[in-house]
Chains A and B, each alone.
Chain A
């Protein structure tokens, strides 16, 4: 159970594998950020990754869509291996949606244009069709009435929901969340988490770096704890929170659950 370096055989057998990381290493200059990461994610799995800052959790998920380059090991996403081949990178980025801590909406475009841009230019979808699809996703995140506004006119929570809708417009099979609620005021966190819970219930494969332990408990199939560039421990939420194995996990949990 506590051995981090073997993929879990039970549920992974039935569902096809969406993401596979094999012995992935990464360095920033001399600094070894990711040390021998092994991880398998099946279709429909919802994984929460937590750990202290600087533990490499963001770097790991950013490697999955090549925002960061890994230097050793293999990353296979939906059957395609990430290499220097630009075709593979483009193919994977089309399959993988990403939501950022600071939303990263395009401020010079309206909400609707933000959502339609990639479907039109990357998927070559006709504009009318892209706009119709975008409106559907904006309704899903409950802000269709903001479609004609610019991101600067929305609240943080609304912006993050637009960012989620923008990613969904590309119809991805995997969604990555990089601390999606860390930059939000407390009263806005809930509206974003609600959107994410809904998304999880629809069967989306999700990897989520977050410190929202309530979200982890209700939604995740698996919680991963990282520290010092390594996966220290991974388990089902129930067991992870009530019966942590490693001392570092215990210390981390006592710090974030203390108040």
Chain B
């Protein structure tokens, strides 16, 4: 009889670790891969250095008129001069502080939400969702507390983009959840109403919705009824996106095993309790990527309000491009727009990944 002696742990061979091994495995594993690697490096060499020299090295940063732009690179002076309009639209210059105050307030309110175990979180969330919009509206619109009245048609720029998209997101998620539950309901009337709503709004282009809301709707309303254009656009965007959201949420609901519903029922939980405590927390967590996808699409779709005469950031940039004093700087303006949109969308995407990691409870389905 032989006794078994355990083998000692040996280090891996030196060819399988380190930078050289990584390069060999990932970039030069075959002659075709080596060729593709070299080709890609050459392409990057052709595009990146000129881009950097145009955007950063040869660019003009300071000045007040186009005379400052003579070095041949990007003319960021144009963006700098117009920055206030890109951010605030046609809002009166003396009242910019109101928008700044609202922004600062939002940051102050949101920061604790990212702190683990902040004691008043349960009061803060409803306040951010319901209290803050009222405060922000009063600040933006004025007309009370000695604030000058600013009509909504003068709201614009990035401010308007953010207002439209945050209202759209805050309204479309709960509405989408209700519609998704409705579509899966056993009650025939609730179910068919949800299906009709979702299929109608998904079937129309957003441009049509916005047009209808600003041009057609007033024709049907009684003479003299005033119904704010911005409000109509907000409602249109919220209803439109809620239909998409409903289908995203429904896909999550369908992924939850039947046993979860049964266990909740067997414990005596009511329909709303089992949805709110058991099913939705799991379903929404599953569809975070889909929800953020819809949010990002919504954020970018807000630029369409341009066609009904609301001036969001992109519309302000386009208006600036038409300024005779600054003709020929379209690339700078649009690059700036792309950069701003990208920063917002990329942060949303990063945040969603962090949220997924945080909510992961290590269960295998």
Contacts from A to B (Cβ < 8 Å): 65-67, 90, 93-94, 96-98, 100, 102, 104-108, 117-118, 121-122, 150-153, 166-167, 170
Given contacts A90-B270, A93-B268, A170-B268, contact A106 B362 (CB under 8 A): no
Cβ contact within 8 Å between B277 and A152: no
Q: What is the CB-to-nearest-CB distance from A58 to chain B, in angstroms, rounded to a whole number?
A: 11
Other A-B pairs, 14, CB within 8 Å; known A118-B267, A118-B269: A65-B265, A66-B265, A98-B263, A98-B266, A100-B266, A102-B257, A104-B260, A104-B263, A106-B263, A108-B285, A118-B268, A122-B273, A150-B361, A152-B361
CB-based A-B contact count at 8 angstroms: 72
Cβ contact within 8 Å between B269 and A121: yes
Does residue B259 face the partner (Cβ distance < 8 Å to A)? yes
Does residue B228 face the partner (Cβ distance < 8 Å to A)? no
Instruction: Find chain A residues with CB under 8 A from B281 CB.
Output: 108
Cβ contact within 8 Å between B265 and A67: yes
Instruction: Find chain A residues with CB under 8 A from B273 CB.
Output: 121-122
- Which B residue's beta carbon lies closest to that of A98? B266
Does residue B363 face the partner (Cβ distance < 8 Å to A)? yes
Instruction: Find chain B residues with CB under 8 A from A100 CB.
Output: 259, 262-263, 266
Contacts from B to A (Cβ < 8 Å): 257, 259-260, 262-270, 273, 277-278, 281-282, 285, 359, 361-365
Instruction: Find chain A residues with CB under 8 A from B263 CB.
Output: 98, 100, 104-106
* Secondary structure class of chain B's binding surface, majority of residues: helix
Cβ contact within 8 Å between A122 and B267: yes
Instruction: Find chain B residues with CB under 8 A from A121 CB.
Output: 269, 273, 277
Instruction: Find chain A residues with CB under 8 A from B268 CB.
Output: 90, 93-94, 118, 122, 170
Given contacts A108-B282, A108-B285, contact A93 B364 (CB under 8 A): no
Pick from B257, B265, B282: contact of A93, CB below 8 A: B265
Cβ contact within 8 Å between B262 and A107: no
Cβ contact within 8 Å between B362 and A67: no
Pick from A117, A150, A153: contact of B267, CB below 8 A: A117
Q: What is the CB-to-nearest-CB distance from B365 to chain A, in angstroms, rounded to a whole number?
A: 8
Given contacts A67-B262, A100-B263, A117-B277, contact A107 B361 (CB under 8 A): yes
Cβ contact within 8 Å between A153 and B259: no
